[in-house]
Structure 1
Amino acid sequence: MMEYMRDAKRRIRIGIVGAGSHSYRNIFPTLTYLPVELVAVADIDLDRASATARQYGATESYASAEEMYAKSDIEAVVLCVSPQMHPALTIAAFKAGLHVFMEKPAAMVADEVAGMIAARGDRVGVVGYKKAFMPAVRKAQEILAMDGVGPLRSVVGTYPMSIPENGRKVLDEREATNWLANGCHPLSVFLEFGGPAAAVTTHRGKNGGGALIIHHANGTIGNFHLAQGAPAFQPFERYVIYADKQSIEIENSRRLSYQRGIEFAYATGTSFAPPGLAGGAIVWEAQDGLNTLENKAVFTQGLYGELAHFCESVLASQPATIGTLEFALDLTRVYEAALLSEGDTVEIRQGA
């Protein structure tokens, strides 16, 4: 159950590193719905950090994360900076005894994520792969866990994306491509449903786009259609999860359809809507008729969910279960393998 900041009986004392456009538009406003007390803001632009701190009631502002770690009495830190900075800032925070939430992507390469895992100790670490936290994805996971549903066979996803050529150069030079910045969104959905990947195969189209085939370790096949060229400011994102004679469809984060099939006789059936309610589709959809929380993008897109899970884990002194560093490691390995595939199947190392 959501708990407003002002009503929370126990608040986590947090600091935020990064007061730029993304955090100001998305992270800071979401604090209203979380059991936190914002104590400090750090940014390389100290004036910006101070102005943001004043706006949100924080009493401290710093020009660096390291200074905040050393001087501020905080329990947890929220990192909203470039992924190049995540490993060093995360490891330093863990060594300072702080819990860490970081925005996606976790790092530039998988070895850096492994280093963060090694430094974590008993602290909570969550990465903001928001798509894994979307209400539509959580509901789909609930359905898949129900008796009589499954086994999961395949997942199909569509997202406007292209995987760069010369992937070895991208990795060696730590290039910040769109595949790094936004490819992690659909990849997080595939891994949330299918689990860790055992291998991937990239097929590039001559004019951009293509397909990424994900061979999940549990036998599920992921088919990621790289829909380069799709208009980004119109509906463009879709996932279909296929189980045993049942399927689940997620459209643009806001609509979830559970197809249960209907009573069917090929030669004699006459109605697509036979009597009873045991079959057919169940549909959940965000509505804009009321200005309620569940219809806002901060909730439908998973921004609230990722931060709420972090807070719940910290307050319960329990490890996170969604968006973990282990999940980030699996995802970053898929990111790397997709760059290196060039049409060949690339196997992925399992475990830490």
Structure 2
Amino acid sequence: MEPVKFNFEYENKLRAGFIGCGAHAFRNVYPTFDYAPVDLVAVCDLSEERAEIYRNRFGAEKVYTDYREMIKKEDLQAIFVVLNFDKNGHPLYPKILPDILEAGIPVWVEKPIAYTANEVEALIELEEKTGQQVLVSNKRYFYPSFVSAKQILDTPAFGDSVSITGRYPLTLSPFQEKLGERTDLHWFLDICHPMSGIHYLMGDVKEMCFVEHQPSGDVQTLFTFKSGAIGSMHLPSTQAETSPLERFEVIGNKQNIVIDNAMRLSYYKGSKGSGEYGKAPSYIGDDPSNGPVHWEPEFSLGQLYNKNLFLQGMVQSVNHFANAILNERKIEKATLKDSLHLTKIFEAYKNNKAGKWIEI
């Protein structure tokens, strides 16, 4: 994990512009610059009044209502883009990013990146053509719980990851026979949330098959992975609002990890006390130090790790991008190619009836 400094402690910072002055950006992206090597030069929004509020609040120098004008007039080393959806519920990023990449500027962009895999493939082609880099902020590639879980999975002791189960509430709309696809999938684009976590831990999906319950929209999905592993994901759209949002478990060789509600990480290993079947006197292992380990934030100290910006990996995502650009390194995760895989998963649900195996 890359070290964190306060913004004023960095000697070298990215001169950055920001396209988008919405509520999500206000809560979750602009504040990350307090802990990243980013010098916010200009902000852009269709509303000049709103852009001026953001300029004043977050310390930018200039305000624009046309991002093309900002690109032309400012000497920018990077651009952050956080936009809403169009009237059809489709991400706007495929319409904006080409202008930025062709101007020779790398991009940090919010998810979901696109509505179709073809749109992502076009962006990948443009990224390679221009030599610029794009990071798509699928957060689970940067959650401390997922990053640490991945470290455990990569150890020889854990062995091969043979299976995963996941749970995350989403609603799948019914298949439209006349159209040959599903519609009203604006919020189902959030499949990138659970799937980015599964993808980070297990690698590419090879095939998938799902069943659905309508009209609730609840879904159960089976996966096979290119690694040979297997998995399942439950999308319980009708779960209680008060229940934990998500849970993931990976099984290895007599070991497993659990990520509960995004922040609690458990590592199960070791064995219970010895003794004949039916006569074991203790449920604690003969070597208690070789047993389960549990981590969770304690929320009592004024540590950065207790901030939601860190628990959800937002600062880590921005720092990964900023340090890669400043140091001329390759962005290693949350790439456009990662997003292409996630978009193909979305399309598998969108374009298919339930009950058949779909190659990804």
How many Å separate the matches in 1 of 2:38 and 2:275? Answer: 57
Letter in 1 for 2:52: S
For residue 282 of structure 1, the aligned residue among 289, 293, 316 is 293
CA separation of 1:186 and 1:59: change in aligned 2, threshold 3 A: same
Does the 8 Å contact 1:184/1:331 carry over to 2?
yes
Show the counterpart of 2:92. 85
Tell whether the 8 Å contact from 1:86 to 1:107 is kept in structure 2 after alignment: yes
Separation of aligned partners in 2, 1:13 and 1:170: 46
User: What's the secondary structure of 1:183's corresponding residue?
Assistant: helix
Shift of 1:291: 2.4
1:239 maps to 2:248: yes
Shift of 1:187: 0.8
Alignment of 1:128-143 (within 5 A): 128-143=137-152
Report deviation, 1:279. Answer: 2.3
Q: Name 2:118's counterpart in structure 1.
A: 111
Residue matched to 1:189: 197
By how many angstroms is 1:145 displaced?
Answer: 1.1
When the two chains are superposed, the root-mean-square deviation of aligned CA atoms in Å is 2.0
Aligned position for 1:5: 7
Q: Which amino acid aligns with 1:317?
A: E
1:172 CA drift (Å): 7.2
Percent identity reads 29
Give the paired residue count. 347
Conserved 8 A contact 1:171-1:336: no
Unaligned runs of 5+ in 1: none
Matched, 1:213 2:225: no
Q: In the alignment, is the contact (CA less than 8 A) between 2:218 and 2:237 conserved in 1?
A: yes
Q: Distance in 2 between matches of 1:107 and 1:221?
A: 27
Which range moved further: 68-77 or 269-278? 269-278
In 2, Cα distance between equivalents of 1:265 and 1:236: 39
The alpha-carbon deviation at position 170 of structure 1 amounts to 8.8
- Please give the per-residue CA displacement for 1:48-91, whole angstroms capped at 9, x wherever unaligned: 11221122111111112222111111110111013632112112
TM-score (norm 1): 0.93
Per the TM alignment, residue 234 of structure 1 is displaced from its structure 2 partner at its CA by: 4.0
Q: d(CA) in 2 for partners of 1:168 and 1:253?
A: 37
Report the CA distance between 1:166 and its aligned residue: 2.1
Relative distance call for 1:81 and 1:170 in structure 2 (3 A) is farther
With 49-58 and 269-278 compared, the bigger mean Cα shift is at: 269-278
| Structure-2 change in CA distance of 1:317 and 1:169 (3 Å) | farther
> 1:273/1:338 Cα in 2 relative to 1: closer, same or farther (>3 Å)?
same
Deviations 1:6-65 (A, max 9, x none): 110110011111001100111111110111000010111111112211221111111122
Which amino acid counterpart does residue 204 of structure 2 have in structure 1? P
TM-score normalised to the size of structure 2?
0.91
- Within the candidate set 46, 62, 70, 1:68 is matched to 70
Which residue in 2 is equivalent to 1:28?
A: 30
Contact 2:161 2:250 in 1 (8 A): yes
* 1:38 counterpart = 2:40: yes
Q: Which residue is equivalent to 2:304?
A: 293
Question: Aligned-pair distance for 1:164?
Answer: 2.0
What is the CA–CA distance in structure 2 between the aligned matches of 1:142 and 1:256, rounded to whole Å? 12
- Tell me, in whole angstroms, the C-alpha distance in 2 between the residues paired with 1:210 and 1:241: 20
Closer/same/farther in 2, CA of residues 223 and 172 from structure 1, 3 Å limit: closer
Q: Which residue of structure 1 aligns with residue 87 of structure 2?
A: none
Measured against aligned partners, the alpha-carbon deviations of 1:92-134 in whole angstroms (never above 9, x if no partner) come to: 1111111111101011111111111111132221101012210
Cα deviation for residue 288 of structure 1 reads 1.0
**Aligned AA (1:119):** L
Query: Which amino acid in the other structure matches residue 359 of structure 2?
Result: E
Change (3 A) 1:170 1:248: farther
What is the aligned partner in structure 2 of residue 346 from structure 1?
A: 358
Judged with a 3 Å threshold, the aligned counterparts in structure 2 of structure 1 residues 49 and 251 are, in CA distance, closer, same or farther, namely same
Alignment partners' CA distance in 2, 1:136 and 1:167: 38
CA deviation digits over 1:137-195, x for unaligned, max 9? 00011111112212111111111112222278899798552111x22110111111111
Per the TM alignment, residue 325 of structure 1 is displaced from its structure 2 partner at its CA by 0.6
> Which AA in structure 1 matches 2:60?
A
Any idea what SS the aligned residue of 2:83 has? coil
Q: Give the corresponding residue for 1:252.
A: 261
Inter-CA distance 298–120: structure 2 relative to 1 (3 Å threshold): same
Alignment of 1:110-189 (within 5 A): 110-121=117-128, 122-166=131-175, 175-180=184-189, 182-189=190-197
Looking at structure 1, the residues matched to 237 and 191 of structure 2 have their Cα atoms a distance apart, in angstroms, of 12
Query: In the alignment, residue 326 of structure 1 is paired with which amino acid?
Result: K
Q: 2:324 aligns with which of 313, 322, 331?
A: 313
SS of structure 1 residue aligned to 2:231: strand
CA distance in 1, matches of 2:285, 2:296: 24
SS in 1 for 2:342: helix
Select the residue among 200, 218, 232 that pairs with 2:208.
Answer: 200
Secondary structure of the structure 1 residue equivalent to 2:326 = helix
